[in-house]
Amino acid sequence: MGGLKEAKLRALAGERSFERGLAYVDAVSGVDVGDGWIRASVRGTERYEVELRLGGRGKPTGTCDCPYGQEGNFCKHLVALGLTVIGQEADLSQRRTSARDRARGLDAWLTSLSREDLVALVREEMAEDRQLRRRLELRAASARGDLAEVRSRIRELLDIGPFAQYGYVEYADARAYAEQAGQAVTVIRSLTTSGRAADAMALTREAIGFLAAVVENVDDSDGCLGQIGGDLADAHHDACRAAGPDLVELAHWLVTHALDDAADLTDIDPLDYEGLLGEQGMAALRRYAVEAWRANRTGWAEKHLMRRLAKSGRDIDTVIAVHAADLAPNGHTHLLIARELDTAGRTAEALEWAERGIRETEGLAAVDTALIDHLADRYTLTGRPADAVTLRRDHFAACRTLFAYQRLRAAAVAAACWPTERESALAHLRADAERADASGGRVLVDILLDDGDVDAAWRTAGEYGAHDGQWLFLADQSRPTRPADALAVYLRLVARLTHETGNHAYEQLVSLLLGIRDCHRRLGTPDGFTAYVTDLRATQKRKRNLMRLMDDHGL
């Protein structure tokens, strides 16, 4: 047990958990020392069971059933127990020896008891411990082969009634319920290992259904019921493997379960049973999946199962059929089909589906831009640059944005026809702006700036208007060549900010003042800036953070 130090605990837990663990040392109780381990209870939000393992040359490890500890972390409760161990290190060797002596004494005493005395002892303990009685009743029913009794007991274990107030299990009681429900998994697994796998398989399915029916009424913030659902899924798979079930019936259950709400609880994947189902079972699985999909072609679960089965069997046509049964109006589903066909090497069909997506969409303004990109790329790769430009031009005409313009520019440059396309695109935007469409003028300003045509952007902003961000960008870009124009922009923006408070506004204001100072320097009017700043300081002097920030920048 020796060798445990505070520094080692700090390294294992991290600074935050270690510091929080210091406050829990007094909450440690019931320290139990064994051979290489120490267990205790720690009172936190609730009482947690904690175990430290110190044997061997490796670093100490530990487990705690608090939410943070269950994620595999060395939590504050483990730190508290570790600090307690360090504080009691002198007594540990003696306590370990005493624990071994007690264990040997208990074993010797139990061995010495007669059969009648052991039975009396167990009955006495069952009378005091309800959980022990339930566990032994389940074992007895299982040993007798009493399936009805085992089923009844499992339903009791999964019943939320004893833990629920007003039909709902609160967070504080959820862990206790999960611990009880977990016993059902143990019972089912014992049936499989005792040669009754068929019964285990049937009971697992019933348990899954029962748990799925109550899970919405439990505050499972810690994910305990999700873990039990996963354990039930594993128990079902193990039982099926041991039982050698009817493959067609198993396939039917797997499809039914995959389409049921309980699928979210267990995350059972029908394809995980492929090795067990074999050719006959997989054929039945596909048949049942197709029937379910035909009955509900737009159902997400049905489509997802069909796509997975089709891909696992490399059945690309079925994948396409599933997608095609529910085409999205914006062309996104057409794109998915095109990509599947491209992956399968069926490029001509892929191109046809992509073009069909453009034709059948509600309008290019609403089309999935990924479909536009996909089709334009295919045109370019197949030596059809003019078609790529046409597609990009039509998209820009329907959706006049900077993004659509940039894509048109790239396609037209590649096709060596950009000057003509650019003039046509700009003409569309000018027409929008002249119709008193403010957004058209602002988009035109962004596009001219993106093209690097700052002078044209200035003229457009002056003629059709621009938002403050555009004016600021224009001023910053044009300060070396148009300092007077830039100065006018900065002064207007500063005037607005002087009515605002807060560090963010102050940082913006100081940045503008630096621009104003540079404009006055370029104009040869530094005294004008000095007078401006002096006046500004006088009117804004109550804003201490602003004054400090201006001092920091020499303003």
Supply the DSSP string of 147-195, one letter for each residue: HHHHHHHHHHHH--GGG-BTTBB-HHHHHHHHHHHHHHHHHHHHHHHTT
Query: Is there a single domain that holds both residue 455 and residue 495?
Result: no
> What are residue 63's DSSP bridge partners?
51
CA 362 to chain centre: 32
Question: Confidence class of residue 7 from pLDDT cuts 50, 70 and 90?
Answer: confident
Could you say which of 466, 496, 529 is where a domain stops? Answer: 466
Q: Give me the phi and psi of 31, to 5 degrees please.
A: -65, 125
Q: Distance between terminal CA atoms of the chain?
A: 66
Question: Confidence class of residue 528 from pLDDT cuts 50, 70 and 90?
Answer: very high
**Domain-embedded: residue 259:** no
> What are residue 61's DSSP bridge partners?
53
Query: Is there a single domain that holds both residue 450 and residue 522?
Result: no
Query: Is there a single domain that holds both residue 483 and residue 458?
Result: no
**Domain-embedded: residue 452:** yes
Query: Is there a single domain that holds both residue 496 and residue 449?
Result: no
Residue 436 has a pLDDT of 62
Q: Does position 117 have pLDDT exceeding 60, yes or no?
A: yes
Residue percentage of the chain with pLDDT more than 90: 39
DSSP state of 56: S
Q: Give me the mean pLDDT over the 277-296 stretch.
A: 89
**Domain-embedded: residue 533:** yes
Question: Confidence class of residue 344 from pLDDT cuts 50, 70 and 90?
Answer: confident
494: containing domain: 479-552
> Which residues of 36-145 form beta strands (DSSP E)?
37-43, 47-53, 61-64
**Domain-embedded: residue 416:** yes
Half-sphere exposure of 164 (CA within 13 A, CB side): 13
Q: Give me the mean pLDDT over the 335-343 stretch.
A: 91
Q: Give me the mean pLDDT over the 474-485 stretch.
A: 92
pLDDT tens sequence across 385-407: 999 999 999 999 988 889 999 99
pTM for this prediction:
0.53
How far is it between the farthest Cα atoms of the chain?
111
**Domain-embedded: residue 440:** yes
Name the domain count of the chain. Answer: 3
Residue 437 has a pLDDT of 56
DSSP state of 30: E
pLDDT tens sequence across 420-444: 999 999 988 888 888 765 577 888 9
What are the Cα distances from residue 328, in Å, to 137, 179, 293, 452? 56, 46, 18, 38
Q: Does position 166 have pLDDT exceeding 90, yes or no?
A: no
**Domain-embedded: residue 472:** no
The number of residues in the chain equals 555
Question: Confidence class of residue 1 from pLDDT cuts 50, 70 and 90?
Answer: very low
Q: Which residue has the higher pLDDT, 441 or 378?
A: 378
Cα torsion 304, 310, 316, 322: sign? negative
Q: Does position 57 have pLDDT exceeding 90, yes or no?
A: no
Q: Which long-range contacts (CB under 8 A, 24 or more apart) does 506-511 make?
A: 506/543, 506/545, 506/546, 506/549, 507/549, 509/546, 510/546, 510/549, 510/550, 510/553, 510/555
**Domain-embedded: residue 200:** no
Least confident piece of the model among 50-59, 151-160, 172-181, 328-337: 50-59
Q: Which one-letter amino acid corresponds to residue 221?
A: S
Could you say which of 405, 433, 466 is where a domain stops? Answer: 466
Query: Is there a single domain that holds both residue 10 and residue 108?
Result: yes
Least confident piece of the model among 123-137, 207-221, 234-248, 269-283: 123-137
Residue 128 has a pLDDT of 83
**Domain-embedded: residue 17:** yes
Could you say which of 112, 134, 156 is where a domain stops? Answer: 112
Question: Confidence class of residue 16 from pLDDT cuts 50, 70 and 90?
Answer: confident
Q: Which residues contact 201 (CB under 8 A, 6 or more apart)?
A: 236, 239, 240, 243, 245
Residue 76 has a pLDDT of 92
Average pLDDT, the chain: 87
Question: Residue 31 belongs to what H/E stretch?
Answer: strand 28-33
Q: Does position 149 have pLDDT exceeding 70, yes or no?
A: yes
pLDDT tens sequence across 19-35: 989 989 999 988 888 77
